[in-house]
Structure 1
């Protein structure tokens, strides 16, 4: 890992102290500069969780990714800076609770023992700052009011935003390779919502800027604007100007008959046979059942 190149990618300079304040700075900077996006699925690109492939995509090629990629690489940066990182699986709430390994989140502890903090730069709209994983009372964040709720009869923890459950964390520590099967499923299955439409979104001031299909969405200050982009040239310019992503063609939903064979992995948990909730990570241009990760509409921003 070229830490200096990674820090330059997120517009930060060394030295950066590995403490709670440093983690907060990293967390915000990452969400401002590295977008959540599923464009690889719509460009026919293979998604790999190999650390070298993640670094090449996110740092060298200045792209984004979805949770497994963004939190996967962010964890390596934090460890190189001196933090202790636990990778944990989460099941995303929707019409029903999603399958195990549906989401990757991070529990981070500073070298001085402060923590753990819930860090998540790969869930679309979520907390701007890391959440104190030790606290059960509501935590006010620029992204909303978050509460960590113990699940009765287990060690699991529900993360809620403005009273609405977002995902359920399983406290068992995992390796990044454990998420390979579900990453493959989300990137190849016709049942995965990730293949329905291209989306790209990042933190922008007190709001977000998102490109959902051909609709550019800006939120902030309790306001929301939508601009439909009529031509391919406008779409490609929006990716370039708002996210720093230079593409040769407009991403389009793939035509899928059946997913290819999954990659070999030491993980022992295959994705659930039932598809995950269809509303995760997709900020749509207009309200729909897939709106949990949409940029907020005034006056009260809904959970996207």
Structure 2
């Protein structure tokens, strides 16, 4: 990624160019990305193509002012972090569903990041709503407090890593580094399968600067945080302005689900993962 596009990406998330690719800067970049760029699956319900290539993902976030789901958000962020001097690997994960079973292989994409000035790697994930707001120490096996909860990373008998929040497993990560192309099948499944949570509902969600979360699911606008939860149904003429006001997204038409399976989302939605 060239300097002009890097600067544009940093402006998009309201961050200054780091003096060095250290942990302090990584913490700031992760937080600002979570606040500025929404997690959303609008492309699925607008008939837009999703291209898992670095330049296309960055273009969606920077030039188009959009967000995306885990493959897009963490894929784009990996491009930015690598350009800034961090050592980044893509990790494949399987999300724990509400039925207590893990999802399909390549269900989730997270990042292993090495920062200057420390010998330990960090887990960075801006594409999973109930994950930490700050980088987690990937080799630490004790509790790691975070504004989003208390996290713990434990090793399974097969050598994978379970990431837990407040005692509940969120997802299981492989340690082997992957390429973006490895996630094509998982991305396709989530975009097309009736069993995918992303085909069941239209979702757009982000953190606010105060740490609350604002989420628009269909016509339901929800703001939740330590102070409580507010929810209201929007009229049809309020939906596009809500995308613009709360997420900075300009749409020409309302994204709609044409077929809505009945089971609940395991990977998205304020009452589930995102």
TM-score range normalised by the length of the shorter chain: over 0.9
Contact kept in structure 1, 2:21 and 2:86, CA below 8 Å: yes
TM-score by length of 2: 0.93
TM-score by length of 1: 0.84
- In structure 1, the residue matched to 2:266 is 280
- In structure 1, the residue matched to 2:199 is 195
Contact kept in structure 2, 1:108 and 1:118, CA below 8 Å: yes
- SS where residue 174 of structure 2 aligns? strand
- SS where residue 250 of structure 1 aligns? coil
Q: CA deviation at 1:113?
A: 4.1
Separation in structure 2 between the aligned mates of residue 155 and residue 222 of structure 1, nearest angstrom: 39
- In structure 2, the residue matched to 1:247 is 251
Separation in structure 1 between the aligned mates of residue 222 and residue 245 of structure 2, nearest angstrom: 14
Contact kept in structure 1, 2:220 and 2:231, CA below 8 Å: yes
Separation in structure 1 between the aligned mates of residue 192 and residue 19 of structure 2, nearest angstrom: 38
Separation in structure 2 between the aligned mates of residue 23 and residue 146 of structure 1, nearest angstrom: 18
- In structure 2, the residue matched to 1:293 is 273
Q: Quick check: 1:45 aligned with 2:48?
A: yes
- In structure 1, the residue matched to 2:57 is 54
Judge which range, 113-122 or 79-88, deviates more. 113-122
Contact kept in structure 1, 2:91 and 2:111, CA below 8 Å: yes
Q: Quick check: 1:207 aligned with 2:202?
A: no
Cα offsets for 1:38-92 (capped at 9, x unmatched): 0000111111112221122111010000000000010111111111111110011
Q: Quick check: 1:82 aligned with 2:85?
A: yes
- In structure 1, the residue matched to 2:132 is 127
Contact kept in structure 2, 1:41 and 1:254, CA below 8 Å: no
1:144-159 correspondence to structure 2 within 5 Å = 144-151=149-156, 153-159=157-163
1:171-182 correspondence to structure 2 within 5 Å = 171-182=175-186
Count the aligned residue pairs.
266
Separation in structure 1 between the aligned mates of residue 159 and residue 138 of structure 2, nearest angstrom: 13
1:10-25 correspondence to structure 2 within 5 Å = 10-25=13-28
Change (3 A) 1:278 1:92: farther
Q: CA deviation at 1:255?
A: 4.7
Separation in structure 2 between the aligned mates of residue 161 and residue 188 of structure 1, nearest angstrom: 29
- Counterpart pick for 1:112 among 113, 117, 127: 117
Separation in structure 1 between the aligned mates of residue 258 and residue 219 of structure 2, nearest angstrom: 16
Q: CA deviation at 1:15?
A: 3.8
Separation in structure 1 between the aligned mates of residue 214 and residue 203 of structure 2, nearest angstrom: 11
Separation in structure 2 between the aligned mates of residue 139 and residue 4 of structure 1, nearest angstrom: 32
- Can you give the 5+ residue segments of structure 2 that lack an aligned partner in the other structure? none
Separation in structure 1 between the aligned mates of residue 143 and residue 176 of structure 2, nearest angstrom: 24
Question: After the TM superposition, which parts of structure 1 deviate over 4 Å for at least 4 consecutive aligned residues?
Answer: none
- In structure 2, the residue matched to 1:298 is none
Cα offsets for 1:88-132 (capped at 9, x unmatched): 100111111112100001010013344310000001232110111
- Can you give the 5+ residue segments of structure 1 that lack an aligned partner in the other structure? 257-276, 285-290, 295-304
Cα offsets for 1:179-206 (capped at 9, x unmatched): 0111011112222120111100111122
- SS where residue 106 of structure 1 aligns? strand
Contact kept in structure 1, 2:42 and 2:255, CA below 8 Å: yes
